[in-house]
Amino acid sequence: MIINSRFFNRSELIGFVSLAVLLFLILPLSLDIFRLNLVAKYLTYAFVGIGLVLCWGYGGILSLGQGVFFGLGGYCMAMFLKLEASSVANTKIQSTPGIPDFMDWNQLTAVPMFWKPFYSFPLTVLAIIIVPGIFAFIIGAAMFKRRVGGVYFAIITQAIAAILTILIVGQQGYTGGINGITDLRTLYGWDIRTDHAKFILYFVEVVLLFGCIIAAQFIRLTKLGRILVAMREQEDRVRFSGYSVANFKIFAFCAAAIFAAVGGAMFTLEVGFMSPSFVGIVPSIEMVIYTAVGGRMSIFGAVYGSLLVNFAKTMLSESFPQLWLFGLGGLFIAVVLAFPSGLSGIWADYVQPRIDRLLSSRKPKAAWTESSVADGAPAE
């Protein structure tokens, strides 16, 4: 394929390889399993971040409801694990054995119909992709076809996040309420709580993450990626070039939702529970800030942003809890006011030129076809 004659340009390739080395080698070799599991947890937000890069950075569609999709993915996975953990043998002491404990506490006597498919793992995996995808499609179609965008879209997605949280908390019998779905144990009989399992799950997640990175990079390099950028700048011009702008926005939003859902499902596996505190307004907007810190136009930036901000959060809120909110708030303001392209922008402006000078490439400037692909948009 011509457009993909260079899937990554040189600096992207460096970014890709160094991220692979970091995640596949350095971190697993240097961290104990507890810390590695923390990294795995942070990385689940990188899935959301990559989606936001496409949808917000490229398409200009700011969703403040990504927690909804993260949560949908997470709850699908959690329900599967919960049903497996609620075998009759494990739940003999309940008044209705064989159903999840929270259902029993809320006087349910049978698993409701809509949770039934989650007895099957293949159906669960399907649901993790399809449910958020369809949900995003409905929201997107309703809004974008009517030309709702910008801040209106942001606020409505935020309201949807609020609604879903209240609903989950309110419908304890079906969702586990405020505590969420907890006490998850095995996946097909394989205990996910052991160190060994955590180690393996980490690698599964990193492989999936690289899958998402490659998928996002692919989308970015196709004409669709350029149309997203074009749309962000001059929506009307895209429309009058013969494109249905709404369809492209729906695509970007659905893609972001599915990425987020995969992250959510992995979150459940890594952490062993899912709760409404990862669905609502606050987590959703925090996911946006991870992306902004990494650089809203940079796929790799989203990964580093998720890692660094969450790392800082853990460090600060362990030792100086009162400082954390000041730090996070300051970060929001600083990124927006002073560093709109985030860490990747700082890298591209200050670090990359130095490296280039050191390596001082003698290659002639690339021809236009190549450079217009490679430089199609600023990245790492």
Partner 1 sequence: MLIGHQPKEFLLAVSGLTVSFDGFKAVNDLSFYVEENEIRVIIGPNGAGKTTVLDLICGKTKATEGSIQFRGKELTKLKENEIVKTGVGRKFQTPSVFEDLSVFENLEISFPRGRSVFGSLTFQRDAKVKERVEEVAEMIFLKDKLSTYADELSHGQKQWLEIGMLLIQDPDLLMLDEPVAGMSVSERAKTAELLNRIIKNRSVLVIEHDMKFVEDIAHKVTVLHQGQILSEGTMEKVKNDPKVIEVYLGH
Partner 2 sequence: MFGDYSLGDLGAILAMQGFAGLILFSVYVLMALGLAIIFGQMGVINMAHGEFMILGAYVTWMTSTTVQHYAPWLFPGYFFIAMTLAFIASGSLGMLVEWAMIRHLYRRPLDTLLATWGLSLILQQAYRSVFGAREVGVELPDWMMGSWQATDSIQIPINGMFVMALTILITIAVSYVLFWSSWGKQVRAVVQNRVMAGAVGINTEKVDRYTFGLGCGIAGIAGSAFTMIGSTGPTAGQLYIVDTFLVVVFGGAASLLGTIASAFSISQTQSTLEFFMSGSMAKVITLLTIVAILMMRPQGLFALKVRK
Interface ranges with partner 1 (CB under 8 A): 1-3, 219, 222-224, 226-227, 229-230, 232-234, 236-245, 247-248, 251, 368-369, 371-373, 375-377
By CB under 8 A, the residues from 296 to 335 that bind partner 2 are 322, 325-326, 328-333, 335
In the set 167, 204, 315, 351, which binds partner 2 (CB under 8 A)?
167
Q: Do residues 162 and 283 make contact, with C-beta atoms less than 8 angstroms apart? A: no
Tell how many helices (H) and how many strands (E) occur in the chain: 18, 2
Residue 127 binds what, of partner 2, partner 1, none (CB under 5 to 8 Å, by partner type)?
none
**β-pair partners for 191:** 186
Least separation in angstroms between residue 224's CB and partner 1 is 4
Q: Which is nearer to partner 1, 117 or 378 (CB)?
A: 378
- What residues have CB less than 8 Å from 49, skipping those under 6 apart? 287, 290, 291, 294, 302, 303, 305, 306
Nearer to partner 1, 46 or 374 (CB): 374
- Which residues lie closer than 8 Å to 317 by C-beta, 6 or more apart? 324
**Residue 252 interacts with partner 2 (CB under 8 A)?**
no
Measured from the CB of residue 47, what is the shortest distance to partner 1 in angstroms? 20
Of 28-36, 40-48, 288-296, 351-359: span binding partner 2 (CB under 8 A): 288-296
- When CB distances are held under 5 to 8 angstroms depending on the partner's kind, the choice from partner 2, partner 1, none that residue 151 binds is partner 2
Residue 167 binds which entry of partner 1, partner 2, none, with Cβ cut-offs from 5 to 8 Å by kind?
Answer: partner 2
- State whether the Cα torsion 265-266-270-275 is positive or negative: negative
Cα–Cα distance, 68 to 46 (Å, whole number): 15
Burial bucket for residue 89 (CB in 10 Å: 0-12, 13-18, 19+): exposed
Q: Which does 112 bind (CB under 5 to 8 A by kind): partner 1, partner 2, none?
A: none
Give one word for 273, left, alpha or beta, with left for phi > 0 and alpha for psi -120 to 50.
Answer: beta
List the beta bridge partners of residue 186: 191
Report the C-alpha gap between 309 and 42 in whole angstroms. Answer: 9
In angstroms, give the least distance from the CB of 244 to partner 1.
5
Question: Contact 45/310 with Cβ under 8 angstroms?
Answer: yes
d(CA 17, CA 220) in angstroms, rounded, equals: 19
Among residues 25, 26, 163, 355, the one that binds partner 2 under rule CB under 8 A:
163
**Kind plus residue range of the DSSP H or E element containing 343:** helix 342-346
User: How far is the C-alpha of 186 from the C-alpha of 316, rounded, in Å?
Assistant: 33
Contacting partner 2 within 20-79 (CB under 8 A): 62, 64
Q: Binding string to partner 2 for residues 168 to 207, with x set by CB under 8 A, is what?
A: -xx-------------------------------------
Instruction: Please check whether residue 380 is in contact with residue 344, taking contact to mean a CB–CB distance below 8 angstroms.
Output: yes
* 183 vs 235 by CB, closer to partner 2: 235
239 lies in the site for partner 2, by CB under 8 A: no
Cβ distance to partner 2 smaller for residue 116 or 146: 146
Q: Considering beta carbons, is residue 193 or 239 the nearer one to partner 1?
A: 239
State yes or no: residue 336 binds partner 2 (CB under 8 A): yes
The answer for residues whose C-beta is within 8 angstroms of residue 117's C-beta and 6 or more apart is 123, 124, 127
Minimum distance between the CB of residue 322 and partner 2, rounded to whole angstroms?
Answer: 6
Contact residues toward partner 2 (CB under 8 A) are 62, 64, 142-143, 146-148, 150-152, 154-156, 158-160, 162-163, 166-167, 169-170, 281-282, 285, 288-289, 292, 322, 325-326, 328-333, 335-337, 340
